[in-house]
Amino acid sequence: MRTSFGGLMMKRRFDRHVGATAAFVAAFNSLIVSLPAQAQLEEVIVTATKRAEGLQDIPISVTAFSQNDMDIRGFSNLQGIQEATPNLNFSVQSAGQNVARVTLRGVGTETLVGGGDPGVAVHIDGVYVGRNSVAAGDIFDIARVEVLRGPQGTLYGRNANGGSINIITQRPNDEFEANVDLAIGNYSSQRARAVVNGPLTDSISARAALFSDKRDGFYNNLFNGRDGDDKDSVGGRLQFLWESESGNEVLLRGYYQHFNSIGPGSTYLGDDIPATATGYPAAHITGVSSGPRPPAGAPISGPLYSNVTTASGDPILPRPTGLRDIRKDAPEFLDQTIKGVDLEANFQISDAVLLRSISSFQTNDNEILVDSDNSELPIQTRYRNNEAEQYSQEFNLISQSESRLQWILGAYIYHEELQETFNTTTPAGLLPLTVPLPPGAVPGGGGIAQTRIAFHEVDSYALFAQLSYDLADRTKLTLGLRQTWDEKSQNRPTGGQVDLTNGYRLRGGGALGPLPPTTADADWSELTYRASIDHELSDDSMVFASVSRGYKSGGFDLNGGALLDGQEQVPYDPEYVNAYEIGSKNKFYDGRVVLNLTAFLYDYTDLQVFRLTGDGPLTDNAAESTIWGLEAETEFAVTEAFVLDASVGYLDATYDEYFVEVPPPTTDFSGQTLNYAPEWTAHIGGEYTAMIGDARLIFRADWSYRSDTYFDRANTDFDTQDAYSLFNARIRYDAGSWFADVFGNNLGDETYVTGQLINPPFACGCRTVNVGPPQTYGVTVGYRWD
């Protein structure tokens, strides 16, 4: 009886849903038909295929944002665009480093230090950026940001197996324009931006863009008032464009950004089972044994948190429980400088062929100090300094004719050098001499320091081609191949954790002093590809299907790892993605509605995942995963004055096979969800424009949603950010030559974690987390000259 009743009720619910859906479709169609014909959406032009094409005309899943889109939505960096991009996750990791973690459709990176590579590539004006920290910077004076989902290995190369984020800046032109805007808000935020553009001669134009952005910290330091997660950045870009009457052009671009602040900030989450009443670990490593029991090289732990006092002699207070409350004593800081120069040249070899050359040189010096014990006690600091420089050269031959065959041929060279210095220090003599320690320990604690210096070098070469052929009037076949050769080397002149007093090396079996030098060399090569077919059902509707292969280079860990013959480091291997995708791009009702749908399936193998050792995180190729998902994006011009946009992403990303055997016991993570891969992402936004004379009054509101997100492979409740929503809004009065607006982001003041790291002492599983921005609000005024 229950089954029959349940079946009847289910049928009735289904009938109601069908009826409701039919009624909604009928009402929607009636509304659309009644709309004024002039309510149309603007065509979006992108360069995802390295040629300018309409976003609706290419068989690639792309989300694009113009500078106006960024401004009106309140986005000033890549962290903002995740709110309106399906299946994109972006966070800045800052517990001893300053890098961006970007994950797209579940594919990203676990290795954030050393010579590790991103799983989602970032390109700025066609130039691949090797260091993740650049992606954490500000975005200003852009033409657009393009998020290309799925492997982009054919045109964009290695390390684009999850996709590519392309930032295209505004180019100089021969029309005079200038604009400036100022924004102030809570947390003492002050932002100033300025752009000037114009002709210098009949053939040379120039463009300069400058910005400064400052604010107080989002974290409240209850100990000394040095609030974390503040901001103090300045930057600029200067460009010169020469154009000939025959269509040739040369663009020279120089850029600079500097960040100098307390740092991006992190807070101590603790352990899922606090060991003490204060919420801190019961013990922390104090030094290394000199033997015989425990044997020489064994770690010595002591109750530092309960016995060490502050500089003023006060005992430790209970750990703050608010995610934006901290209590730290160390003088944390971030000092980062990014600068470089690009030269892009486009020459018309003939009416049918364009030759493009992009040359680039960039340096990135990234220095950071954090209080790694996360307390007001002087227990441990962590310092990291990365000095990177990269050079790249790319040549493209691009067809320009209107024939049925379109093609692009390319060659690419990339060279990077990175020097990384990493140091953690626990001073000697922190404990009172009356505190008992095991035999072999220095009374009061001998202290321990780890210094790791590594020199990384990368050389990458590639040849690629992509052809598109019109099989019929409305059917196109695209085939692409790229052969990549990667070479990496690493030299570590020193390393290991050493007792500051007795000189014994941690786990060194009685050895004294730092580890001896080790070296490493490895090379890999891979053929990546993309094949797609698309068919136009009508002038406004297209379906497509594609298969592609992505590849991320192997590498070497900064810390520890297996050695051959005691000196040669063993690398971890590349990871691969085989991706299958079908989709549809559509315009309806005279261009008033855009609807894009995508379904995808990934075979993700040899995942580069990390495990924790006494020396820190190490990378293994220890996992396989099957990922599938759905995405929908739509934009709807309800009237000429009112536009709605929305997106939704569904993601099923789990480990098929993932066993960790070291350290024992063996742990099986098969069936668990991948890190930073929420099942649902969604966004709804609306923009209404009212005319007041010749001026416009613009109302913009956005809601975004992200379901439960895991930060650890075990998927425990403690390592999970529960589902949350964010609300942003802006009202702008735009009189043409000037504008003013009021804005608010995270209006619900949601407190949410964006990223997590396991923190020393690793044995306790202590978590350090990064927290998203709180509620912010303010006003902006701007002026334009033209």
Query: d(Cα 464, Cα 752) in Å, to the nearest integer?
Result: 43
Give the whole-angstrom CA distance, residue 481 versus residue 469.
15
Which residues, listed in sequence order, are joined to residue 526 by a DSSP beta bridge?
484
Question: What is the reported pLDDT for 9?
Answer: 33
Residue range 747-762: average pLDDT?
A: 81
C-alpha distances in Å from residue 525, one per residue of 108, 109, 484, 551 = 20, 20, 5, 10
For 199-208, 261-270, 581-590, which range has the lowest pLDDT when averaged over its residues?
A: 261-270
SS3 per residue for 438-485: CCCCCCCCCCEEEEEEEEEEEEEEEEEEEEEEEEECCEEEEEEEEEEE
Dihedral Cα 543, 652, 47, 115, nearest 10 deg = -150
- Is the omega angle on the peptide bond into residue 318 within 30 degrees of 0, that is, cis? no
- CA distance linking residue 111 with residue 619, whole number of Å: 7
The partner residues of 212 in beta bridges, in order of sequence, read 192, 234
Q: Which residues contact 130 (CB under 8 A, 6 or more apart)?
A: 117, 388, 390, 414, 416, 458
pLDDT of residue 615: 60
Pairing of strands 88-93, 61-65: unpaired
Distance between CA 396 and CA 344 in Å, rounded? 11
Q: Determine whether 51 is exposed, middle or buried from the number of CB atoms within 10 Å of its CB (0-12, 13-18, 19+).
A: middle
What is the distance between the alpha carbons of residues 529 and 103, in angstroms, rounded to a whole number?
A: 21
pLDDT mean over 257-273: 82
Amino acid at 629: G
Q: Among 561-570, 579-588, 622-631, 676-685, whose mean pLDDT is lowest?
A: 561-570
- Split at pLDDT 50, 70, 90, the class of 734 is very high
* C-alpha dist (Å) from residue 575 to 118, 441, 463, 780: 11, 44, 20, 45
Q: Are strands 45-46 and 53-54 parallel, antiparallel or unpaired?
A: antiparallel
- How does residue 613 score in pLDDT terms, banded at 50, 70 and 90? low
Decide: 88 and 65 in contact? Cβ < 8 Å: no
pLDDT tens-digit readout, 709-732: 998 888 988 889 999 999 999 999
Pairing assessment for the beta strands 593-613 and 575-588 based on DSSP bridges? antiparallel
* Omega prior to 438 cis, within 30 of 0: no
More confident residue, 42 or 678: 678
Phi/psi at 639 (5° precision): -140, 180
**Summary mean pLDDT of the chain:** 89
What would the mean pLDDT of 292-312 be, rounded to a whole number?
A: 92
User: Which DSSP symbol is given to 733?
Assistant: E
- pLDDT beyond 70 at 708: yes
Q: What is the pLDDT, as a whole number, of residue 282?
A: 86
Q: Residue 219 — very low, low, confident or very high, per pLDDT cuts 50/70/90? A: very high
List pLDDT tens digits, range 117-171.
888 999 999 999 988 788 888 889 999 999 999 999 899 988 899 999 999 999 9
pLDDT digit string, tens, across residues 72-89: 999 988 888 999 999 999
Domains of the chain, residue spans: 45-267+274-448+464-785
Average pLDDT over residues 314-340: 92
Residue 21 has a pLDDT of 39
Write down the pLDDT at residue 97: 67
Residue 577 has pLDDT above 80, yes or no: yes
pLDDT tens, residue by residue, 619-634: 888 889 999 999 999 9
For the four alpha carbons of 70, 73, 76 and 81, in that order, the dihedral sign comes to negative
Quickly state the pLDDT bin for 761 (edges 50, 70, 90): low
Considering only residues 402 and 686, tell me which one the structure prediction assigns the higher pLDDT: 686
Summarize the confidence of residues 24-43 as an average pLDDT: 55
Higher pLDDT, 583 or 768: 583
Q: How far is CA 645 from each of CA 84, 690, 705, rounded to the nearest angstrom?
A: 9, 18, 14
Q: Within 10 Å of residue 238's Cβ, how many Cβ atoms?
A: 16
Please give the DSSP secondary-structure letter assigned to residue 21: H
Poorest-pLDDT segment among 106-120, 150-164, 649-663? 106-120
Provide the strand spans (E) within 669-775: 680-692, 695-706, 709-710, 720-721, 724-734, 738-745, 753-759, 766-771
Residues above pLDDT 90, as percent of the chain: 69
Q: Go through the chain and tell me how many residues it has.
A: 786
Average pLDDT over residues 263-268: 82
**537: Cβ contacts below 8 Å, ≥ 6 apart:** 474, 543
**Which CATH number is 45-267+274-448+464-785 given?**
2.40.170.20
Instruction: Please give the biggest Cα pair distance in the chain.
Output: 88
pLDDT reading at 450 higher than 80:
yes
The pLDDT tens digits of the residues spanning 454-506 come to: 999 999 999 999 999 999 999 999 999 999 999 999 999 988 899 999 999 99
Comparing 31 with 61, the larger pLDDT belongs to 61
- pLDDT of the residue at 662: 67
User: How many alpha carbons fall within 13 Å on the CB side of residue 63?
Assistant: 30
User: Helix, strand, or coil here: 407?
Assistant: strand
Cα–chain center distance at 211: 22
pLDDT tens figures, 341-380: 999 999 999 999 999 999 999 999 999 999 988 899 999 9
Structure tokens at 740: 């003013």
pLDDT of 645: 97
225-258 per-position pLDDT tens digit = 889 889 999 999 999 999 999 889 999 999 999 9
- Cβ burial of 767 (10 Å; 0-12, 13-18, 19+) is buried
Upstream peptide bond of 199 is cis (omega within 30 degrees of 0): no
- Stretch 104-124: mean pLDDT: 85
Q: Pairing relation of β-strands 163-169 and 142-149?
A: antiparallel
Please state, in angstroms and rounded to a whole number, the distance separating the CA atoms of residues 293 and 285: 17
Inform me whether the pLDDT recorded for 582 exceeds 70. Answer: yes
Residue 333 burial by Cβ neighbours in a 10 Å radius (0-12, 13-18, 19+): middle
